[in-house]
A and B are shown apart, each in its own frame.
Chain A
Amino acid sequence: MDGAHTPGPFGRGLAWATALYLVLPILIILPVALTDQRYLSLPQDGISFEHFRTVLSSPEWLGSIWQSFTIAIAATVLSVVAGTLCAIGCWRISRRATDLIRVLMLLPLIIPSIVYAIGLYRYFGPLGLLDRFAGVVLAHGVTGIPYVVITVSTALAGFDPRLEQAARGMGASLSQTLRWVILPRIAPGIFSGAIFAFIHSWDELVMVLFIASRDVFTLPRRIWDGINENLDPAMAAVAVLLILFTTLLLMADRALRRRSEG
């Protein structure tokens, strides 16, 4: 970095402050989860794994974790299939209309999720989708599409269209070209999109508050209720597990990207 500007003390301090501001709330969760007290607090006489034990042996917590997990998986499949097909379609046709469709696909990111949630509540009632597994999957799956469209479109932007011509010139049908040439090339993009779509569903709360009540009780929902009703440190333990899980997913994404670039 010869010749680069070196930051002054003020700039350096500001950068560190910002980083701490981002990381501290996450880090504070860890000692709280390990507290030996019976309420949300820092450890006093030593650390304890009691609250992790509580979470991992409670049928309610485990039930919610399992429910969140299955919903996230199903929603991710929905987002990936719809988002990938949309991105490939826009890329192949590539007219002004397809630019419009791409922007349209980003709407769930732009519109506040509470607005979305109110709309869903209104329509899911008559359709019998309120408080249903399918309803939450649909809501999460559709709002997860933008992540996939973005990552797959980015992957396609780096795709040489001559590869498709070459495949067809050698006699490959559209589906063969898709399976053997296009999909392997954009797989890292699809995978990234899948991870983001999964995380999106995994920690989504606002829509769930509106469209689910008793039968569907996802993990973020249980944390939310827990905070409202009591201050059990078990929630901090759940949060730590959540953070660990998300970090693992992001690390998998990074590793995969590095492999495809290397």
Chain B
Amino acid sequence: MSDGRGHALVLRGLSKHYGAFTAVDKVSLEVGQGEFLTLLGPSGSGKTTILMAVAGFVAPTAGSILLDGSDITPLPPEKRNFGMVFQGYALFPHMTVADNVAFPLRVRRLSRADRDVKVRAALDLVQLGQFADRLPKQLSGGQQQRVALARALVFDPALLLLDEPLSALDKKLRAELQEELKALHKRVGRTFINVTHDQEEALSMSDRIAILNHGKLIQHGAPGALYERPRTRFVADFLGKSNFLEGIARVPTARGFTLEAGVHDIAVRLTEGEAPPPEGKRSLLSLRPEKIGLLTDGATAENVVGGSIVAWSYLGAGYSLRISTDTLGELRVVLPAWQASFAPAEGLPVRLGWSADAAVLVEDDAP
């Protein structure tokens, strides 16, 4: 909390094998100073193993970990000076909140007076000043989580590592703490590395997300870039929801191409610098449900398809519709409830439309 500068971390070809099982497969990744990076993936994707390797609890089979350019791979966890918030928090149940937060300072043999000052500051940082003398079990889940944060930050760690920090909390509290955690990151200006399987959490908190699957780094980038331009089917599917349209690429130009999906031709516009697929190549498009609109009579769009509602559900803010189209199979559509000028019903005929730049060309990495 003093220097206000984060440290940079580099993973270089990091691998971890357990016998024949590859938990992490040659992952290379850079985390910038003061960045909030989230490792996102389903269970078994290797995200936690990477975090544990950074923390020093897991020895990588190959590759190296560099902090500000120096190799820390062989260092044991107690020599790395990283703060960590464990899943379930791992607060010491026999110590008060203040003693828990003071623990890393006691280990570093700070004087009692210095400890008290820092503990107070850390508890104030997470708004828990008045709970200093309580035991962890006397606090709510959210409060325990904040104690774990204070304890992980009090000794000015080079990095803060978070292992599914919000997974034990209920939905509403989780949303609240996402905002708090993001604000805390701004205030302390340290490098945060977070692990989660919750895409919403990743999108809302991170400066950058690294998506992992089967131990491999699939794609990384800013949340918006990742959501808007997923590189593969897995990314499009894991980060948000998506429709997938398969077909043959036709008449490619620098500005776009046509995807021949059965009897239906879909117009696709490419972004600046994106290369079109070669003529005749099997290609896959990702189309986000919220980018499809319902067309009123007489209205038109670059892509139009007719169909009827198979199923619908009301989500408060919007409607989620499943629509059986005449020529493109089933499509999922999400639209704001206030914009819907009709009451959805099964079997209701509709016309769907979307612009040529709504769909994104993705690589098909489905197994």
Mark A residues whose CB is within 8 Å of B: 160, 162-163, 165-173, 176, 180-181, 184-185
Contacts and interface: CB of A to CB of B under 8 A. Distances in A.
Contact of A167 (B83, B88, B103, B155): B103
Contacts of A165: 57, 77, 86, 90
B78 A168 contact: yes
A176 B151 CA distance: 17
Interface stretch (B28-36, B104-112, B199-207): B104-112
B209 interface: no
A162 B86 contact: yes
Given A172-B107, A176-B107, A180-B103, A166 B94 contact: no
B90 A184 contact: no
Nearest to A172: B107
Nearest to A160: B90
B78 A169 contact: yes
A169 B155 contact: no
Given A169-B55, A169-B80, A170-B152, 17 more contacts: A160-B88, A160-B90, A162-B87, A162-B88, A165-B57, A165-B77, A165-B90, A168-B77, A168-B78, A169-B56, A169-B82, A170-B84, A170-B155, A171-B81, A172-B78, A176-B107, A184-B94
Given A166-B84, A180-B103, A180-B106, A171 B78 contact: yes
A205 B108 CA distance: 51
**Size bin of chain B's contact surface:** 20 to 34
B319 interface: no
Contacts of B108: 171
A172 B94 CA distance: 17
Q: State the 10 A-B residue pairs at the shortest beta-carbon distance, nearest first.
A: A170-B104, A166-B90, A162-B90, A169-B84, A172-B107, A171-B107, A168-B78, A168-B77, A184-B94, A171-B78
Contact of B76 (A168, A170, A184): A168
Nearest to B106: A180
Interface in B138-168: 151-152, 155
29 contacts: A162-B86, A162-B87, A162-B88, A163-B90, A163-B92, A165-B57, A166-B86, A166-B90, A167-B92, A167-B107, A168-B77, A168-B78, A169-B55, A169-B78, A169-B83, A169-B84, A170-B84, A170-B152, A171-B79, A171-B81, A171-B104, A172-B103, A172-B104, A172-B107, A173-B78, A176-B107, A180-B106, A184-B94, A185-B94
A34 to B, nearest CB: 46
B266 to A, nearest CB: 50
A33 B94 CA distance: 45
A67 to B, nearest CB: 38
Contacts of B90: 160, 162-163, 165-166
A180 B57 CA distance: 20
Contact of A170 (B88, B93, B94, B107): B107
Nearest to A163: B90
A171 B155 contact: yes
Contacts of A167: 92, 103, 107
Contacts of B92: 163, 166-167, 181
A100 B160 CA distance: 40
Nearest to A170: B104
Contacts of B87: 162
Interface string B182-200: 0000000000000000000
Interface in B5-58: 55-57
A169 B77 contact: yes
Interface in B270-311: none
A100 to B, nearest CB: 23
B48 to A, nearest CB: 12
Interface hub of B76, B78, B83 (most chain A Cβ within 10 A): B78
A169 B86 CA distance: 10
Contacts of B78: 168-173
Contacts of B103: 167, 170, 172, 180
A169 B152 CA distance: 9
A75 to B, nearest CB: 29
Contacts of B79: 171
A168 B107 CA distance: 10
Contacts of B86: 162, 165-166
Contacts of B76: 168
A134 to B, nearest CB: 36
